[in-house]
Amino acid sequence: MEFIIAHIGWLIAAVIVASITSTLYWMLHPPSNRTLRIAESATEQAHTIAGNVLVVFSADISSEVLMALATRMAKGQQTQLVAIYVIEVPLTLPIDAELPQQERQALEVLTAATEIGRKVGLEIRTRTIRDRQTGPAIIQAAREENARLIVMGTYREHRYTGAPLAKVIEYVTTHTHVDVLVGVSSATEPRSMLNVAALPPKGDPKR
């Protein structure tokens, strides 16, 4: 009888040891499920961006807020950041026609973009591009600049359908294999970070 009890005791002890061992092994070697694999892949890609970051501006594309994000991304990955302003030239005019208002706007926007980069210690390159359509101009610039990421934005959510920017987004995303980052400002949140253009100036009683 004592022999049987002793064996039962050893058996229980073995089960407890095996349970503890398996628990410790599971803690030290968690299962490699799909979520973990996705996370690991995304982290690896984020640390191995091969190519430049292209930030797009035009009369219909305001990317100032995303520019601040892009500068930090480029600096962190030690990649070149290029800011372009696309001037759409009407078909009724020569491609090199004088467009002083549009050229002045492009200069102001790219100067501001340069200053945003300097605030985080990043020197950026800027280009003004003339084209008949913004979409093809962006695709061509992305190829020329070896862009790994195209940054565009922002648009107001409730004005997306049929808006000029919506057409550009559709064209760019369907004509490139490069990742595209687009900012969306909420239609219901007037203080959205991506909706700074719609905010009243400081001191305005409407705030």
* Pair 150, 138: CB distance under 8 Å: yes
Predicted model pTM:
0.66
Residues 100 and 20 in one domain: no
Q: Tens of pLDDT along 106-135?
A: 999 999 999 988 888 888 999 999 999 999
Q: Is residue 67 part of a domain?
A: yes
Q: Tens of pLDDT along 4-44?
A: 455 555 555 565 666 666 665 655 556 556 555 555 555 55
Containing domain of residue 18, as a range? Answer: 2-30
Report the amino acid identity of residue 172.
V
DSSP code for 120: T
Q: Is residue 19 part of a domain?
A: yes
Residues 83 and 161 in one domain: yes
Residue 68 pLDDT exceeds 60: yes
Residues 17 and 102 in one domain: no
How many structural domains is the chain composed of?
2
Q: Is residue 40 part of a domain?
A: no
**Maximal CA-CA distance, the chain:** 107
User: How many Å apart are CA 174 and CA 157, to the nearest integer?
Assistant: 20
Q: Is residue 37 part of a domain?
A: no
Residues 16 and 55 in one domain: no
